[in-house]
Structure 1
């Protein structure tokens, strides 16, 4: 069932229940008022006839004649007057006797002064009437034909009105639900035409105030992320294809040239060295890609534990200097460590070491001599690491691009690399809820500042 139909039925059902409750209240209220008013009418008629008989001294025969000759005498109020000893003084129609009075009934009326009851379909009232220092018991009964007819008409009117109202409410609810959900239908139509080939399209955000507009804004934000992800993926595939093609092509060319004819041992050795160099490039590229994939994992898929940043820095420094014996890296503690918590964060030590190694290698690689330094300073709520070198520096127009995957800048002919290191480092730092910033001037060296908050 569609939401439109659910809303329509829900709206109609709620209104139907309210209308039904309202109809019951009206019907039973009218029924009680009719009953009360007719009891009062019976009591009034009984007192009038008693006054005619006792005060005006109208003969009983005359009153009976009037009763019998009145129209609709069957439904007219029938009055009987007794004394307290159950002696009949007057009766409109003894042969009919609607009430069927008994001694027990007379005694009850004397005791309670007034009783109301039903005799079959008729309402009846019994009252103790005091007149000229004497007590009389008067009963009056009749069928409220007119009142029941009005009650019946009211019932039919309410039933018909209820069903007519339900139909109208259902139609109105359908219209209102359709109108309320029209933005959703429009959103569905707009979303339906968005595919992988036109992720630049966006849905209309409406008035920007209601829930539909909020959904559209959220969906557009998701499309922005998807578009960026798709673009990054396309760029990644394009760049990785190029990066893989270069060493593989070089290896293939070198090997093909080598096997074309007999060569000297020196030539074979040189060819093997070239193949080894290209293979090492492929290994470094593969390792970088694996590290980049790990850094892109969901946060919940990576194990974190309390880690001392100085220990990770020392491990990274040892690994870099082991791989590059000509590199020189110094670690400077700008203040004494008074509390381990000031220099510890929740981290994945492996990924953090990869990031630090990239920054150290970059500092040495672009410096002459191959030297870099790491300065550590800490505060109660954060730790700062500054990776400094005195290398060739970075131009202002390139600083905004250095964290893009596979970007190598104008120095790519001077120093070997694949352009993944800084992009990988930035992802790892952000994965650890940190920030990385760079400041540099051509010819004056570069400083990368990494900030980790103590969460």
Structure 2
């Protein structure tokens, strides 16, 4: 409810600071009062002990009267404070008292006859005055005397009440100054946030290259700005990739469509025989086939980006899956008189979605066949290593320059754009292969030396074998 009422973060910070400060001040006041009360009480006890030594010096023994008070009559003053006193012989009764109307002895427990056994108690006179009473025993020439001394606690109560009044009166003043200071410094602290808000309002889809100011990268606001900047960078790259993807897809679609239209228009202008019409239709069907493959690739990438693909994993042997795919694509290699040499060193179990993973194997094999010269060899190896299960597809083509190696997995990227379009490639095969491998928790790597071919390595984690129950 408070967040709905107080919408400003600055006001909420100030309110929380005031609440914490008020709680700390109240706790400080209570501790201060308790400490002062303890100090005043200790000082009062020390004064009573000093008074006790003074009183003991005025007790004398007279033969005819026994123990008598030989000090001044009436009230005794010490340190400017009034001292209440009552002296009582343990056998003969009262010796001396300056109490006006009552005996402290009547309400105190009987003392034990032990020298220097001091007991402090509280006592209140009929007029309401509060006393701190010291009860002690003193021996004078073998005779025991009970000494009861009392000092007023009103001064201590007055000091404590005055301190409490001062603290209560200063409490709202401190809170007012604290509120002003907290509100001011909260504004100073949150001023970078206003700059972030103002800068954020100026950023649109066309201005994603802008970045928020970072005054102090070590504090929370600086980290917030850096997080927003990272997000803006990702959005900027995503928008650029989307625009590039749209432009490349449009370009790739326009090329076969233009070829179909051109061939059709030429056929309509120049009537030919049946064979010529068949060749024209065949050319058109080839372009349609390219369009179909391009649309299938685009659909695969779109599904991967949207997260709509939910793979169904099964434990199977990697070598068997690759071998089946090689058997399907072998006819393309035979057309170029190429030799697919496959070597499976040992079985290796992996968790695969066969329909997805075969796209990776198929695209890598197509890529190898496409760039391997006629009559050359393509090596396919499946092995088990410490990393997991590894598939290597190595061609004997021209290889890839190191400057292009980091970009070959980007969409619509071609090392040689003219040759790739001539051979029917769209620059999507390796991007799909990378997605198909990564969705299985693996990785794909390129190793290439210009003039010595390329080697694509696929590393997949080994599947954990289900534990079988021990035989009885």
TM-score normalised according to structure 1 size: 0.78
Does residue 452 (structure 1) correspond to residue 455 (structure 2)? The answer is no
**CA offsets 1:31-65 (integer angstroms, 9 cap, x no match):** 133233334434544664564464797778x612x
Q: After TM superposition, give the deviation of residue 405 of structure 1 in Å.
A: 2.0
Greater CA deviation, 398-407 or 254-263?
254-263
Give unmatched runs, 5+ long, in structure 1.
none
- SS for the counterpart of 1:26 is helix
Q: Which residue among 349, 355, 367 is the counterpart of 2:354? A: 349
Aligned to 2:161: 152
Q: After TM superposition, give the deviation of residue 284 of structure 1 in Å.
A: 0.9
Distance in 2 between residues matched to 1:365 and 1:135, nearest whole Å? 124
Aligned residues: 440
Aligned to 1:107: 110
Aligned to 2:430: 422
Give unmatched runs, 5+ long, in structure 2.
63-67, 463-472
Aligned to 2:465: none
Contact 2:333/2:339 (8 A) holds in 1: no
Aligned to 1:364: 369
TM-score normalised according to structure 2 size: 0.76
Cα distance, 1:227–1:424 mapped onto 2, change above 3 Å: same
- Looking at both structures, which has the greater relative contact order when contacts are Cα pairs under 8 Å and sequence separation is at least 6? 1
Aligned to 1:122: 130
Q: After TM superposition, give the deviation of residue 234 of structure 1 in Å.
A: 0.4
Cα distance, 1:414–1:282 mapped onto 2, change above 3 Å: closer
Q: After TM superposition, give the deviation of residue 433 of structure 1 in Å.
A: 2.9
Q: Which residue among 401, 413, 418 is the counterpart of 1:410? A: 418
Does residue 79 (structure 1) correspond to residue 85 (structure 2)? The answer is yes
Does residue 293 (structure 1) correspond to residue 293 (structure 2)? The answer is no
Quote the RMSD (CA, aligned, Å). 4.1
Cα distance, 1:317–1:41 mapped onto 2, change above 3 Å: same
Q: Which residue among 26, 34, 46 is the counterpart of 1:28? A: 34
Q: How does 1:169-318 map to 2 (within 5 A)?
A: 169-251=178-260, 265-266=274-275, 269-296=278-305, 298=307, 301-318=310-327
- SS for the counterpart of 1:80 is strand
Q: After TM superposition, give the deviation of residue 227 of structure 1 in Å.
A: 1.9
Contact 1:364/1:372 (8 A) holds in 2: no
Cα distance, 1:297–1:373 mapped onto 2, change above 3 Å: farther
Contact 1:43/1:127 (8 A) holds in 2: no
Q: After TM superposition, give the deviation of residue 281 of structure 1 in Å.
A: 1.9
**CA offsets 1:396-416 (integer angstroms, 9 cap, x no match):** 766565433223413145322
Cα distance, 1:50–1:402 mapped onto 2, change above 3 Å: closer
Contact 1:321/1:327 (8 A) holds in 2: no
Aligned to 1:63: 73
- SS for the counterpart of 2:422 is coil
Distance in 2 between residues matched to 1:38 and 1:397, nearest whole Å? 92
Q: After TM superposition, give the deviation of residue 160 of structure 1 in Å.
A: 3.8
Aligned to 1:97: 101
Contact 1:374/1:385 (8 A) holds in 2: no
